[in-house]
Amino acid sequence: MAVQAPENDTGPSSPRPPSTVLPRAPFPVGGAGEPPTAGPGVPPHPGRPHRPLLFRRPSALALVALAYLAAQLALVVPHLAHLLGWDETVYVSQVNARIPAAYFSAPRSRGISFLVAPLLTVTDSPHALRLYLAVLAALALYAAYRTWRPLLGPAVTTVAALLFASLWTTQLYGPQAMPNLWVALAAVAALGWFLRAPTEPYARWWCAACLVVVALMRISDVAWLALPLLLTAVFVRRHRRTLPFLLGGLAAGVAQWVVEAYARWGGIPQRLHASAATEGGMSPHLNFHNAWRSLDGPELCRWSCTAQQHHPALGVWWLSLPVFAAVALVIAVRDKGVGRERVVLPLAAAGALAVPYLLLISYSAPRFLMPAYALLALPIAGLVVRATAGRRWLVAVVSVLVALHVASQFVVVQKVTAEAVRTDRLYRTAARDLRDLGIHGGGCLITGSHALPVAYDAGCASAETDGNNASTTASRVVARAENRQPVVALSSRAEPRPGYARTWTRFHLRGTHWAAWVAPRGE
């Protein structure tokens, strides 16, 4: 049994109070033959010479984080280095003083805008933004799973980080200005700090800080994440001192969203109603089929989505998740120690975070389930380490399976980034053609369903007159055109002329399937 060192132990000369016995975890702490790691709850190895941090061998978890960074830089960043995606332009434009801010709809939260704001004060280069976010994502991956090392040991946490980092969604969204990865990693860290709080009081502050991050990134996700944490804090005596920190973190995280709700929508109920309308309604829906369809792309499966799995065999890992979760739960329930919560709580939180996307909405995107995947990686990694302990032949088998899984995710990353490159080329071509027509910067406005990324690249404002992101009216668009401002409406060439553009001139945008309806100046 491991022996816990007191938190205020500073060396051999410090008085040592009586030690306490750590609760046994249902999964092995560390791999076969590995000694306990130094840190909270574990004494340092006697006799080991101290090495400066710069000359220490990097841990396996650090190597996973570095490999994750390398994968982003090699597989994703080169393909997405020229332009931002549709949703990204919404978040980034809020803090880019060089570009008019896009319409910010009710369901969105401003955490990503805050995250990229420091870089935007220096440059708005999409390439620089990709590099900045890729580095931050790798650091966050390491920090999030490192939180669990005193709870599950280095082997389990390393395998968990590897499993999550190998997913194509984790690689694709690492360098993108999207909130889902940050919700996932903050959720992993929040649960780790929560479980460490009874023996490490400072952990409560970190847990609260992680909840703030989740709330700032996606207000809806923090409610589902907080549910199992609050229930545990209320009904498990050893966690009750953490309850005020949970409530404080939630309050601090949602404060900005609440203030904005009153400032822009008139109150919390009104913003929630607007959010539900934007999402197409929140009501019971069995949405597993859409989640399956979008498992290897597209990035969004909505509006009568007819996408199909291109390689169904690549989805075996997804179908196996409930099986692994059930096995981990059975093993944890049989454990009579406090360590069972180290498995049960991640499973409960993963299930809670998946509920709205599998049971309450009628569309899907692969990124929606990233927080659930990040948490499920912990008990699944525990199963892997437990099953392979002392069995070299099984280690070899599992290594081959993991390698095949990583290869399958590489195939999907290649496919999805190729699609992103084609879309990126359309946006850039359209923006270039609009510049040739004199539509760029200086108060111009672009409307239509494809307006956002094109307008961002052209330096224009964007707006929509209908749909779930409607931010203006046709009369306001016409009034702006009559005020001698450059205004253009984008549409598919097969679509009819917009009703408010009856007197506007149509131009074909070369290299795209879009038409641009340009308002005459001064009419």
d(C-alpha 173, C-alpha 386), whole Å? 31
State whether residue 363 is helix, strand or coil. coil
- CB 329 within 8 Å of CB 347: yes
Q: Taking the chain (523 residues) in consecutive chunks of 10 residues, what is each chunk's mean pLDDT?
A: 40 41 48 41 50 69 98 95 91 94 94 97 95 98 98 96 97 97 98 96 96 97 97 96 97 97 96 87 81 80 66 81 93 79 96 94 91 97 88 87 89 90 89 90 85 91 85 89 88 85 90 89 59
pLDDT of res. 306: 65
pLDDT of res. 260: 97
State whether residue 152 is helix, strand or coil. helix
pLDDT of res. 456: 92
For the record, the structure tokens of 53 come out as 């941090």
d(C-alpha 422, C-alpha 436), whole Å? 21
- Nearest CA-CA partner of 64 in 139, 176, 153: 139
- CB 462 within 8 Å of CB 472: no
State whether residue 148 is helix, strand or coil. coil
CB contact set of 366 (below 8 Å; sequence gap of 6+): 168, 169, 294, 295, 296, 297, 299
End-to-end CA distance of the chain: 83
DSSP 303: S
For the record, the structure tokens of 354 come out as 């998946």
CA angle 432, 414, 75 (to 5 degrees): 80
Neighbours of 496 (CB within 10 A): 7
Please give the torsion angle defined by the CA atoms of residues 450, 451, 452 and 458, in that order, rounded to the nearest 10 degrees: 120
For the record, the structure tokens of 281 come out as 């309604």
Length of the chain: 523
Please give the torsion angle defined by the CA atoms of residues 410, 412, 413 and 416, in that order, rounded to the nearest 10 degrees: 160
CA angle 336, 373, 30 (to 5 degrees): 50
Model's pTM, two decimal places?
0.87
For the record, the structure tokens of 500 come out as 């408010």
Distances (CA, A) of 190 to 208, 353, 449: 7, 14, 38
Amino acid residing at 218: R
The DSSP line for 176-215 is: SS-SHHHHHHHHHHHHHHHHHTTT-TTHHHHHHHHHHHHH
For the record, the structure tokens of 11 come out as 């060396």
pLDDT of res. 309: 64
pLDDT of res. 13: 40
DSSP lists the bridge partners of residue 508 as: 515
What are the percentages of helix, strand and coil residues in the chain, rounded to 5?
Answer: 60, 5, 35
Distances (CA, A) of 209 to 165, 218, 240, 294: 23, 15, 18, 33
CB contact set of 467 (below 8 Å; sequence gap of 6+): 449
Long-range contacts of 91-95 (CB under 8 A, 24+ apart): 91/116, 91/177, 91/178, 91/179, 92/116, 92/120, 92/124, 92/129, 92/177, 92/456, 93/456, 95/120
pLDDT of res. 8: 40
Q: Where are the beta strands (DSSP E) in 125-223?
A: none
pLDDT of res. 338: 62
For the record, the structure tokens of 92 come out as 């980034």
CB contact set of 19 (below 8 Å; sequence gap of 6+): 3, 4, 5, 6
DSSP lists the bridge partners of residue 3 as: 21
pLDDT of res. 303: 60
pLDDT of res. 465: 87
